[in-house]
A and B are shown apart, each in its own frame.
Chain A
């Protein structure tokens, strides 16, 4: 009885979690008339891969993908490095201003992001960073950082302090102890932090829309959005593109799902 109830719940939620994506799959496989089918079947005799071939052959989708890949990779690397060092410092050391710093990290999440767009634009254009990936990278890395730091700090809290103490007795410097002993042990958290940075830049739209104006430089969300027009959206193309955008992230998630449980540790606000 208890078992079958559990199975039922899990299967129900699996359906709940998968169905919307299957729906997108079925739209992407329909030809011209993307909406307006009353059947729940995903495929029918008219299913076609037309939208996908159109996507790759007639739109700069691959170019956008490379742009996104480039931006996300740089953001991920810088995010992981910066979050690891500062998360470690917060976790291990007592110093003046620590509590304020930790609170201020949380505070940065509280400001409505949409209101930051206009000032972002003004700063970037003063620094001549409009239409450059660098501008985008700077903003992405710093906006993803607060959560990443929190997350790294939470993980380091769970690593026993004795490890570095032993290392220091063996003659390691503080940095060596961090770099050689603690960091290699923190793979799960590093992977998860990387995943967060990656995801936030892979699917970000608002900042990209104000920063990048040259279609050659578009990232995937911008490109995808260009299939949408106020009164004439290319729904089939959009759905096909949406799948192609989502799949890498889903694959990434599946690949590292073994780290997810051990690596995701949202630290408490208190030190």
Chain B
């Protein structure tokens, strides 16, 4: 009782804390969202502090977001009519943002003479207007080599292979390679496309259309495969983190990485040099890294002229010569202002001198929104080549087809179709039904409410009102979106168009494929959750001493936040360094499994992770159920000579049904709808988008390809599938209950 009184006071305190916790504000607050890496953030903080000291009436709020999240968060917040005044990110976000009218052209805000002081590469243009000013030029890939292992960088591909082979070594003779000649994030298209230019073609045409089905593409595909399988100079499975840490530990002689990594290598005390990608001998051409910029854009939503003035003030400060030189000094970035490049800091920096030479053979980073579709389809096909499920020729052709298809669906501006009437009819029907329902039931309900059942209604009201006030609006918003043409091109003026998206979902064979996978995913997960959970519960309850200890140890997976688990398991599945493969090799003498590069092994990896997450819940539910089984039953069964299995089959399992069934249903719904595990373990559906379940597929459509309408329709379909599923399950439960009694 005393506890409850204390709770009262506590609740009161908490509520008053919420009400009175308003922050004091400076005159203007400018928000700046950025995606700078850790070391750059520190510099940014210093610069912003300096700015605030010089402008006491302006407060700058700096927020970090990871690149992809920055993009989707900025889209959502602009849709809500707000968002940060300044956004800092890579140049390729300009295309989509400008298309959606989220950022404003800078040409009227920054005089042309001022613009001329910048390297044209740092002024990001879209449809002839400047939308972004970069504070640095670069963001490009190059060959980085460890001077200890590679005294002179390879000039040509042949040299690279030779040096690579001489450095790839197994020191202790255990059959595993301890040092690699070469390592890079080769499964990611961004790290792959520079090579295409070395074979004489570019992955985009001058007119920003995809150019994926080329001879050069096929040769480049082949080269990547040869690096891994023929020359064996790169690790079999290598993502960015892996390549990076190999290089930092001196276990890889050369790496392909960008200018952003220099600071990291410096602090890891690696004596490194940089060079161009090696010349391709057969063509005598240089591979061309994409050169871009990261820079600032101004939100289109700013209306207050004073705020705009302050924002520009900050923008000028952040792109000034002084600020650029601070960045150059601290984290060796290459300034975008010509005058800053004359500073001794830049001139005397050997790395930057070399960098400008590398950039000479670079190509500008495309900024049109279409490039996203190109990356996406190229990634899928390229990973199929690496997984051996497509030949380079097939993949090049298919990548081109898919890119065109995706661009088409990204750019389509749908207009209201005949099915729009059906939608209105549907809305009318829902409304009519609700009115009818309320009209017929309200009297009964009111009678009930005023009469005997006033108490339960009052008890329930707060919870149900809060649940439904939070859920209802989003639900109908989504329903409306699913009938709309909301996409990249119609970001600000979407309208209802009808059932188009539902039709395209239903005729898409990919939908059924993903659906099937989702069912396999759900069934296998729930099966393992229940069987492991029940097995462990029975053993703990019936055999083990110190029940509490085992129970506590076994619920730990449940207690750890999911996103941490998922990323941890991804690390554990790594082919070279993950403990799972090390265990398989050292203790079971099996050959390592390439978990994360084949569709089905990746899928299994996701299942294992999710089983790990979910079995403790079922175990606890089953333990609870076991408590209610009377020991007498077992005693009498034993007297009748039933063995352990028979006792389980005839007593334990049937008696557990009432607790296991609802928990399994709930578990199935959660598993069906879980995004974290699939998304994080398979790194958003890799390889080649073949590891999706419906929910991750929706997520991808919405945030990667801007197809909000399509994604909303798909999520409504998921919702309907789940409702049908639980109705069916309930019916089965009911029937089996009736047949039992």
A-to-B contact residues, CB < 8 Å: 2-3, 6-7, 9-10, 13-14, 16-21, 23-24, 27, 32-40, 70, 73-74, 77-78, 81-83, 85-86, 88-90, 92-97, 101, 104-126, 130, 133-134, 137-139, 141-143, 145-147, 149-150, 154, 174-175, 178, 183-184, 199, 202-203, 205, 209-210, 213-215, 221, 224-235, 238, 242, 245-246, 249-250, 252-254, 257-258, 260-262, 264-270
Which residues of chain B are near A205, meaning CB under 8 Å? 563
Knowing A2-B543, A121-B80, A264-B621, say if A213 contacts B61 (CB, 8 Å).
Answer: yes
14 A-B pairs with CB atoms under 8 Å apart are: A34-B245, A95-B448, A112-B694, A134-B18, A199-B559, A210-B73, A229-B66, A229-B67, A242-B568, A260-B623, A262-B627, A266-B662, A268-B661, A269-B665
A28 to chain B, nearest CB (A): 11
B101-136 Cβ-contact flags toward A at 8 Å (1 or 0): 000000000000000000000000000000000000
Knowing A257-B555, A266-B662, say if A112 contacts B695 (CB, 8 Å).
Answer: yes
Knowing A253-B559, A257-B555, A266-B662, say if A215 contacts B63 (CB, 8 Å).
Answer: yes
Which residues of chain B are near A214, meaning CB under 8 Å? 61, 63
Are A137's CB and B18's CB within 8 A?
yes
Q: In whole angstroms, how far apart are the Cα atoms of A245 and B735 in the complex?
A: 45
B584 to chain A, nearest CB (A): 11
Are B35's CB and A245's CB within 8 A?
no
CB of B385 within 8 Å of the partner chain: no
Are A86's CB and B82's CB within 8 A?
no
Are B723's CB and A110's CB within 8 A?
yes
Q: In whole angstroms, how far apart are the Cα atoms of A97 and B176 in the complex?
A: 66
B26-40 Cβ-contact flags toward A at 8 Å (1 or 0): 000001010111110
Knowing A214-B61, A261-B620, say if A14 contacts B470 (CB, 8 Å).
Answer: no
Q: Which residue of B lies closest to A141 (CB)?
A: B466
User: Knowing that A10-B540, A33-B249, A110-B723 are A-B contacts, what are 6 other residue pairs whose CB atoms are under 8 Å apart, sorted by A's residue number?
Assistant: A23-B572, A92-B456, A111-B471, A215-B62, A260-B623, A266-B662
* Range for the number of chain B residues in contact with chain A: 35 or more
Q: In whole angstroms, how far apart are the Cα atoms of A40 and B548 in the complex?
A: 29
Are A112's CB and B460's CB within 8 A?
no
B657-686 Cβ-contact flags toward A at 8 Å (1 or 0): 011011101100110010100000000000
Are B552's CB and A257's CB within 8 A?
yes
Q: In whole angstroms, how far apart are the Cα atoms of A229 and B69 in the complex?
A: 10
Which residues of chain B are near A134, meaning CB under 8 Å? 18
> Which of B462, B532, B561 makes the CB contact (< 8 A) with A202?
B561
Knowing A23-B568, A113-B673, A119-B473, say if A40 contacts B463 (CB, 8 Å).
Answer: no
Are A32's CB and B478's CB within 8 A?
no
> Which of A39, A116, A183 makes the CB contact (< 8 A) with B474?
A116
B12-44 Cβ-contact flags toward A at 8 Å (1 or 0): 001001100100000000010101111100000
Are A254's CB and B552's CB within 8 A?
yes
Are A266's CB and B659's CB within 8 A?
yes
Are A115's CB and B463's CB within 8 A?
no
Which residues of chain A are near B240, meaning CB under 8 Å? 231
Knowing A119-B477, A229-B35, A260-B555, say if A36 contacts B539 (CB, 8 Å).
Answer: no
Residues facing A in B465-520 (CB within 8 A) are 466-471, 473-475, 477-478
A92 to chain B, nearest CB (A): 7
Are B666's CB and A112's CB within 8 A?
no
Knowing A9-B535, A83-B463, A226-B64, say if A35 contacts B577 (CB, 8 Å).
Answer: yes
